[in-house]
Structure 1
Amino acid sequence: MRTRPSPKGPHLPPRAPAHLLSSHAVTAGAGPYALAAGPDGAVWCTLVHAGRIARLAPDGRIDEFPLDSSDCGPSLITAGPDGALWFTRNRDHRIGRITTDGRARSYALTGAAPGPYGVAAGPDGALWYTALHTHSIGRLTPDGEVTEYPLPGTGSFPSFLVAAPDGALWCTLNQAHALARITVTGDVRLFPLPTDGAAPVGLAAGPDGSLWFAEIGAGRIGRLDPSGPGAAVTEYPLPDAQCRPHAVAVAPDGACWFTAWATGRIGRVTPDGQVTEATLTDPGCEPHGLAFGADGTLYIAQESGDITRWDVTGPTEA
């Protein structure tokens, strides 16, 4: 394990190359939470407090689609293998599906109040999800068949989930301070993190097969290399250990972008450990999800009420 040194003294890191292009307001109090690029060229967003899914078109138009329950708690969202968007409904324990023209339905899950949260399309054509409260990973086929795979131990709080280039699914285990790898046949392996209280949440796969993750409890961004000896973990301390990094997204150049919801900032970590940050529209905007659009711009879901779009291709500023 390697830990990169944290910046010392009053010096702030260089400014990340992030320049605001546009800001798009949703219904007041709706709570933009997670984002996914859709197959239609739009960016889709869960509105966690309103029970709605929003579609932000490339021309800036926003459409909001109410779900069948305003209190279902739509959480994370992903593009599915069938051309639709799939999302977790954390409060009513269902998996939702919405077509690109706004038609929605949902699927009931097994068990008592599993609390689905993370979701990803698997290489087997199924949708996979994390169950926060039942300590398991679930698999949902397009025709609604549900299978759940228990994780080792208890109370790990499985959170974000991604399909990785190695053909497996990976998730963060927030309370076990670990990552987990699960194959499509249900075989699970845990990868404990070296930092006490890391509490990993956001997770994304890089083009080189590495896994990037946010340590919300430790104020670090981590990178796990599955191909290295013992699946080596490198951790990058952030300038403010209390910034609460939440979600991550990997850019085409291999750098990892993250949201810091406690400080209203976003940041960038390169594979060689350079950390840069930028302030968003308001320090209290509570950034959560982020995703790259089809045009390479970065979209941020700000729970305070906006989806913002940023150009992140410029040079780093001193």
Structure 2
Amino acid sequence: MKKILYWLSAALLAVLTQNCFAAACGPVYGADSIAQDKDGNIWVAHYEDVRLGRLEPNSGRFEEYLPTTQANSSVLNWNDKDGFSYKFDFGFNGLALDDKRGLVWSLIFNSDKVIRFSRSDRLFTEIELPGRSFGRFVLPIDGEGNLWILAGPCCGQEGAMQLVKISPDASKQIFPLEVKRAIAPSVAFAGNGQGWVSLTQDDEKQAALYAFRDQRFERITLPSEIGRIITRLHVDAQGDLWLAEGDAIWRLHDNEFKRYTIPTPGAHPSVLADDGQGNLWFTEWRGNKIGRIAVGGEVSEFPIPSEEESPLALTVAADGKVWFSTMFNYDLFRLDPATGNIQSFPLPAPSNWSKNAAAGLSACVIKPKDALTLAAKASPVAVAPAGTTPPLRHPKGYPAEPGAAAFEQNCHTACHSWYRMDKAASRRSDWRPTVERMIDFNKAAIAIEQRELIVDYLNRHYTMAKH
């Protein structure tokens, strides 16, 4: 769940955020996008945070670039029908690098705008789209530096999907695709300008794949085994098209589709990238592994660190090493395929987000941070302040067990914490490193005795031994 970022003064924030709650040791989202430039620097974008970042791996130097426009402030409101409202969510989705012109492209989350960042003058430019942007993780860019984005109606509205070509000078050309009310769109382009679009129309039982040639769309017949959702498209350096679908990956080569089965059941391959030598790399969203399909077709898997969950973004560096992020960690990770070793690269908390978190201004949790320590000392039972959103689910043993109360008072969130608890319980043996990392990241004022209660409680109820 995205964090609401506030760029207003402290006095105004005190008025506007009376119902805003802060994550104490609750979730940290990893980089949504990763890319390497020609100099070997690693670029990242976060859809929770309004920043682009650049890491120099050899020196460890990290720079962040913040847009100059002010963000809207709001609070995520929950209701049983719609869940959380994303009306004012913002952040960056996806990355595309144009090294020749020194440009970095991204999308403003949940909006109709593209961001172009110039590395020479460090200025951001907003470019409007003819509808809501669809794209994440990797944004397609062709050999001429043109960015290709699919845009269309939002939130159940009807209207034609449109493929938008954005030139380096920010000029646009629009190609309508006569498809309405589609879900799961994905776009990929080869360096020669050959494009591909996949999506699923509301009334169809199988995903649709379109080739985009000579400014025209041609629907491609898919194998009957391909289901309703194509998760991701990717065109490799050889010009072959790859599709992630269900628990398999497909390759289109010389007009023939070939299916590759992932060894881990339920792996759910998601983000795709190639190394330029014919090897395809992919994340396993549910399998918690990084996978590779070698030139000869062999499928290999590399487990991510046991403390991590759900790999997100992925890119392959020029030296063949694989960079990736995970769902609940700001660190970047680098996998050496030759050894299987994984090295972590800690990133600093975003300057805008960390200040907001320290002030108790993150959204979608159930306790105001400034009341955490005092409330924990006063009573082992969590009592929501008047006018706040009650927890959607209480932890095991609540309210009788002090550890359960400490967890709910300090850590429980209404969005990702329960997902994290349930998902991690079957594979985690010790919660201490995770809890300490979350507390440190969020700068939460949680007393040592409360931390010990939380760790002890989680280790007794939400670890491998209990499942």
Could you state the TM-score of these two structures normalised by the residue count of structure 2?
Answer: 0.54
Relative to 1, partners in 2 of residues 1:237 and 1:137: Cα closer, same or farther, differing over 3 Å? same
The structure with more strand, counted as a fraction of residues: 1
Q: How does 1:118-197 map to 2 (within 5 A)?
A: 119-131=139-151, 133=153, 135-157=161-183, 159-173=185-199, 177-183=207-213, 185-194=214-223, 195-197=225-227
Q: Compute the displacement of 1:90 (Å).
A: 3.1
* Structure 1 unmatched ranges of 5 or more: 1-27
Question: Which digits, 9 at most, give the CA deviation of each residue in 1:180-205, with x for residues without a partner?
Answer: 2223x521122243234252233322
Aligned equivalents of 1:136, 1:283: Cα separation in 2: 41
Question: Which digits, 9 at most, give the CA deviation of each residue in 1:136-163, with x for residues without a partner?
Answer: 2111123332222122433344644333
Q: Compute the displacement of 1:32 (Å).
A: 0.7
Q: Secondary structure of 1:79's partner?
A: strand
In structure 1, the residue matched to 2:392 is none
Aligned equivalents of 1:140, 1:209: Cα separation in 2: 22
Aligned residues: 281
Q: Secondary structure of 1:151's partner?
A: strand
Q: Report which structure shows greater RCO (CA 8 Å, sep ≥6).
A: 1
Mean Cα displacement is larger for which, 125-134 or 297-306? 125-134
In structure 1, the residue matched to 2:264 is 240
Relative to 1, partners in 2 of residues 1:283 and 1:173: Cα closer, same or farther, differing over 3 Å? farther
> Is 1:89–1:116's contact at 8 Å kept on the other side of the alignment?
no
In structure 1, the residue matched to 2:132 is 113
In structure 1, the residue matched to 2:55 is 56
Mean Cα displacement is larger for which, 258-267 or 160-169? 160-169
Q: 2:240 matched to 1:210? A: yes
Q: Identical aligned pairs, as a percentage?
A: 24
Query: Cα RMSD (Å) of the superposition?
Result: 2.7
Aligned equivalents of 1:291, 1:266: Cα separation in 2: 11
Q: Compute the displacement of 1:115 (Å).
A: 4.2
Q: Compute the displacement of 1:116 (Å).
A: 5.0
Relative to 1, partners in 2 of residues 1:207 and 1:144: Cα closer, same or farther, differing over 3 Å? closer
Greater C-alpha Rg = 2
Aligned equivalents of 1:245, 1:86: Cα separation in 2: 25
The structure with more helix, counted as a fraction of residues: 2
Q: Compute the displacement of 1:113 (Å).
A: 3.1
Q: 2:102 aligns with which of 78, 83, 87?
A: 83
Question: Which digits, 9 at most, give the CA deviation of each residue in 1:44-88, with x for residues without a partner?
Answer: 111111122121212233323233466433111111252211112
Question: Which digits, 9 at most, give the CA deviation of each residue in 1:225-244, with x for residues without a partner?
Answer: 1xx2xx21111121234222
Which one-letter code corresponds to 1:200 in the other structure? I
Q: Secondary structure of 2:132's partner?
A: coil
Aligned equivalents of 1:281, 1:272: Cα separation in 2: 27
> Is 1:264–1:283's contact at 8 Å kept on the other side of the alignment?
no
Q: Secondary structure of 2:32's partner?
A: strand
Which one-letter code corresponds to 1:105 in the other structure? F
> Is 1:40–1:100's contact at 8 Å kept on the other side of the alignment?
no
* Structure 2 unmatched ranges of 5 or more: 1-26, 72-88, 154-159, 341-467
Q: Secondary structure of 2:140's partner?
A: strand
Q: Secondary structure of 1:50's partner?
A: coil
Question: Which digits, 9 at most, give the CA deviation of each residue in 1:80-100, with x for residues without a partner?
Answer: 252211112231221112234
Relative to 1, partners in 2 of residues 1:56 and 1:198: Cα closer, same or farther, differing over 3 Å? farther
Aligned equivalents of 2:282, 2:120: Cα separation in 1: 30
Question: Which digits, 9 at most, give the CA deviation of each residue in 1:11-53, with x for residues without a partner?
Answer: xxxxxxxxxxxxxxxxx83531111112332111111111221
Aligned equivalents of 2:338, 2:228: Cα separation in 1: 30
Q: Compute the displacement of 1:291 (Å).
A: 0.7
